[in-house]
Amino acid sequence: MQSPWTYKNFEIREGLKPGSETFRYFFRVFENGEKKCNYCVWIVDDALTRFDPSTDFKAIAASCKAAWHQWVKGKIDGGDFRNRVLKFEKTGEQEINLSDMQEHVRPE
């Protein structure tokens, strides 16, 4: 995970899931040192070229980070502390509960 940042009273630790062959970028949200929730951006393999022709994970993360920060801030502003996934597929995107994922996505 990369360096943490703060928003309101929350600390957010973010970064690519280490060693993952699938694009999974996590935002772990903490309040007063206690983990509040996880938000994840998951880009399925056949959608990677939508973001970067070379499918370079670090390049994709760098180019999209500002938009994803806004998504996280919106969740916090709305009081939505459910574990959520913003899943990008070739044909579009959808936001779903992490617990509803057929293939569970874990930050560690």
pLDDT tens-place values along the chain, 108 residues long: 567 999 999 999 999 998 889 999 999 999 999 999 999 999 999 999 999 999 999 999 999 999 999 999 999 999 999 999 999 999 999 999 977 765 555 555
pTM score: 0.88
Locate the domains of the chain by residue range: 5-100
Q: Which helix (H) or strand (E) holds 72?
A: helix 57-77
The tokens 């899943």 sit on which residue? 87
HSE value, Cβ hemisphere, 13 Å, CA-based, for 72 = 27
Q: Is the separation of the CB atoms in 22 and 31 below 8 Å?
A: no
